């Protein structure tokens, strides 16, 4: 595990696997932030075409600072339901930025925030479970399909257990995340693509967001 890099795509090695949560990278959240702030969040070529994300810039329109607190979301939490096709995050989670790599963020979160994250994840799994049950799959097949598209995320006491062995087809894809002395959980091991986003584009913000920035 390499905490100085984003574990969301680089834990161990680059893995090609189904998106069990948050591995599909689209610019919807960034595009919304760019449109709202007027800040270009991308590196472009001479013709103006996007060639990469700018990891030093986040959705508040100013350089991201390691150790500061932000709201984080991922495009698996994004929905496109307004009349302009603008993406909004269903939920953002407050946390402390610990590193940036290729535009994606690693962060720590409090136990209260992580508990809500786990509950939200369980709700997503339940929606998949209901869908596959309606499709007539056997109970065993239902659970196998749910595990394929949404990893298992549970608490064992105060220990957060991330289990994506089924989705990754890799028996090593399991991790125990223990709280620090400050009660914070390092969510790097979740193997998800997070990015800082402005609270205003989130339908719901979990935790106490950083002070409001007058950009939107």
Give me the DSSP letters along 81-135: -STT--EEES-EEEEEEEEEETTEEEEEEEHHHHHHHHHHHHHHHHHHHHHHHHT
What is the Rg, in whole angstroms, of the alpha carbon atoms belonging to the chain? 17
CA 42 – CA 174 distance, rounded (Å) = 33
The confidence band for 129, taking pLDDT boundaries of 50, 70 and 90, is very high
Give mean pLDDT, residues 113-138: 95
What pLDDT score does 39 carry? 47
Mean pLDDT, the chain, integer: 73
Of the candidates 193, 206, 200, 211, the residue with the CA atom closest to the CA atom of residue 7: 193
What pLDDT score does 99 carry? 85
The confidence band for 109, taking pLDDT boundaries of 50, 70 and 90, is very high
């Amino acid at each position: 595990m390499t905490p100085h890099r984003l574990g969301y795509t680089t834990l161990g090695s680059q893995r090609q696997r189904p998106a069990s949560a948050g591995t599909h990278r689209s610019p919807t959240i960034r595009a919304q932030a760019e449109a709202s702030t007027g800040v270009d969040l991308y590196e472009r070529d001479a013709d103006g075409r996007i060639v990469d994300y700018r990891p030093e810039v986040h959705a508040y329109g100013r350089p991201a600072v390691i150790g500061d607190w932000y709201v984080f979301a991922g495009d698996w939490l994004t929905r496109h339901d307004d009349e302009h096709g603008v993406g909004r995050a269903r939920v953002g989670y407050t946390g402390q930025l610990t590193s940036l790599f290729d535009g994606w963020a690693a962060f720590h979160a409090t136990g209260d925030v992580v508990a809500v994250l786990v509950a939200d994840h369980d709700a997503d799994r339940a929606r998949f479970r209901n869908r596959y049950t309606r499709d007539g799959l056997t109970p065993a097949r239902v659970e196998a399909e749910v595990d394929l598209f949404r990893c298992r995320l549970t608490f064992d006491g105060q220990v957060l257990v991330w289990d994506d062995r089924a989705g990754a087809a890799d028996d090593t894809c399991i991790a125990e995340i223990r709280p620090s002395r400050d009660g914070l959980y390092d969510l790097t091991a979740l193997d998800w693509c997070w990015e800082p986003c402005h609270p205003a584009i989130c339908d719901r913000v979990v935790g106490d967001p950083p002070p409001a920035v007058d950009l939107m």
